[in-house]
Structure 1
Amino acid sequence: MRVLALLDGTLADPEAPLFRADDLGVMRGDGCFETILVVDREPRELGPHLDRMERSARLLQMPLPERAAWERAGQAVIDAWPWDSEPEMGLKLVCTRGIDGGDGTPHGFAMGMDVGPDTKRKRDSGVEVVTLDRGYAPDLMDRAPWLLLSAKTLSYAVNMAALREAEERGADDVIFTASEGTVLEGPTSTVVLAQGRKLLTTPPASGVLAGTTQGALFRAAEQAGWETEVVDFPTSALFDSDGVWLASSIRRLTQVRAINGTSVKADDALHNEIVNLYESNY
């Protein structure tokens, strides 16, 4: 199921051509995007997603259409979605730099997509992951801002290659590690650990994307009396913690059950508590 809207709020045929062949988003992956979970017509963390998209565009030094245009396009998709049969949707906002050799006018759209059965299975049953070396140190973002390490760009080829590598190894997903062994993030997720009544995640300053779902979880956890910490931690902490999750918009909070073939703590009661904390925001 797909629903497509342009930034003026008009609907378009999702199966018809939309891009020029010389669009820089197609040719070079030059652009940014966000994916927002919408449940029963209500988008989750819309403001933080739009904030992050604006930050990605600034890092790309790329003009971005005004926020009202994205809100208009997103609402058009929400209004057209068949909520009676599909109670949740992934709302993707995409912006490219425009055509090669053009005047720099960006090209954007919003598209709604159904949440597939494999995503729901992983959300419900948990995942096995492998750790893969991302090949850079946590301080590289400050030393090399042109690498766009904390921007959500369209250039996801490396991320998808990592997921294929995980599949070849018999796993479901990946946790990237830095060159000296600290934990970074997943290809499409933020890593969250539980240590007692404390939740931890890696700081964006280490070159990871600031997580909107992780942010919502931490907000609710702090209100419920949990301690939260945004700090670098070694890969060994994954095995020593009381629980590990991959936080992402569409998969919400997916429990990690094994890492590199070794089982890790995956307490169902703790998992339910973490999920309920996140859901309490909505």
Structure 2
Amino acid sequence: MQILQFKKCFFSELSNSYPETEIQSFFNILIEHVLNLNRIDIALQPNFEISENNLNTLQKNLNSLKNNIPIQYIIGETEFYGLPFKVNKNVLIPRPETEELVSWILEVSKVENSTLTILDIGTGSGCIPISLAKNLPTATISAIDISSKALKTAKENAQLNNVTIQFLEKDILKTNSLNTQYNIIVSNPPYVRELEKAEMQKNVLNYEPHLALFVENNNPLLFYNKIADLATKHLSKNGLLFFEINQYLGKETVDLLISKGFTAIELKKDMFGVDRMIKAVYTS
């Protein structure tokens, strides 16, 4: 089958499930991944003949998209902060909003002491600490996750990006001591309430790990409460705590941090104009 013929079939089969711009993006990603052809190559070679093996792979990928499997899981990779990351069903797909959190940390860190110690709690794919490590080469960075499978992926991503991170398998809710002091603690913990599931897209709800996404309706700040308590013990003087947060719980998260003695608290909106991240200072 020629590439132009496959494109027509591809768009036709996905037209009831996705907007045209998204289908075009999926097509470009898959063609580059499977055939190593970019958009210019496709335009110049509309009669390119797809081999039987590659056509079978593309058809399988198309069927996966029809079942709402995220494109990142289909190809097994994504990009975050300009870096390559392996992703699979054991880790969340990194979001653009989290890139904004990384940018905020770097903005602050680059005017601080260059020998920073940083801890990421609930690291998943490792996107936060690895991106920080690439941009703060003299920092000492550690990362925690409850999932051994997520940590396996994070370690592969650290190797892929040629950075050194100390990875630790811990259940943060059962952790009473971090055994060291940090200049910065950052976390993008589970924060989606069960009641918010109805707002979520099928590809997220059906395929991304619920362990990394959801909290009970009656205690949505469970992780923030625990991490803030640990931060009061393990942040160095004037240390910084960064959180990605539930957009509906900005005030509540700020109030929680105030109650624990944090100061200079900043609540920041993301590119979509919703409350998404917090920076706080612990001076005691």
TM-score range, shorter chain: under 0.3
Higher-Rg member (1/2): 2
Which has more strand, going by share of residues?
1
TM-score scaled to structure 1, two decimals?
0.24
TM-score scaled to structure 2, two decimals?
0.24
